[in-house]
Structure 1
């Protein structure tokens, strides 16, 4: 789909210079002299390199829509991850580098992930934003500190270190934000 250069927004995928680029930041600039333009920071989806470009309203770019589909994670073998389509039971493989670094420790067997692809090529893997885990290690509960706003260190069952409220103890299931490894709440299950 063709769009004008001033219509590019953060998160848009565009076909530019024979590659697929994700718009990271966009800023509309109207200089005192000359025409207005959209200053866009782009990140190559495949390689990860960044590029700053100016797009005028008169320029057109090709906006690309990625196909998003849910898959179940089966197993990892070195740098290759294997997923299964929940509808057709077909298996696909993707490189571990397609997974965001901050989400990699939360990849567990059987989890449902969203895979973004374009023309059959896997371009990204996204885990659920919030997941429940059991606390493997935590400092003991200290009486009278349940109302305190301080946090204490704890280790999840997958080895990730997070900060939890003082009343959380080992064996408790908690909900964790997978994007920044932060405690959200006590799990309700």
Structure 2
């Protein structure tokens, strides 16, 4: 059992018979009235993000969560399949539990969040940055580096990313997985 003063980013709590992760929080002490904690919480079972306010001193049930490294294998009508490289245990997750599933590439290392007490997978987290190869985009023209104009490009997993005009087919790019945004071109 924890209180609102123990709330921190990434903490997992049990609230209304669901498990939530704290995405962001802010302790507020108004000049008039009682203090409170304003939070943005994400459900680990459904992926919904909610705004929730706790009064100061409110007790919250902290959930013990373990992060385990898994390798992405494939997806089918049963869901997305992952394998633990140490124990060779396989687990499949529904698409709702995976953020940015369009960037999953066979053999990619990911982290699966497990409920430590119930041994139940909750969600999957991708690495912060991934490197992908451009499979299709309109060709760039010499001198297109002067503006910040973006064009659509398809990466090797089939996902579409907006990239600068100078990016060509076959280039490797770094993508930030949380936003799906182009970061930079990578030398081959």
Deviation per CA, 1:77-136, whole angstroms, max 9, x where unpaired? 214221111111121222222101xx1111121111110010211111111222222212
Other-structure match for 1:81: 80
Normalising by structure 1, report the TM-score.
0.83
Establish whether residue 111 from structure 1 lines up as the match of residue 108 from structure 2.
yes
How many residues of Structure 1 are paired with residues of Structure 2 in the alignment? 185
> In the TM superposition, what are the counterparts of 1:164-183 in structure 2 within 5 Å?
164-183=163-182
- 3-state SS, counterpart of residue 158 of structure 2: coil
After TM superposition, the runs of 4+ consecutive aligned structure 1 residues lying more than 6 A away are: none
Distance 2:174 2:42 in 1: 31
Q: Could you state the TM-score of these two structures normalised by the residue count of structure 2?
A: 0.84
Root-mean-square deviation (Å):
2.3
Gaps of 5+ in 1: none
Structure whose alpha-carbon radius of gyration is higher: 1
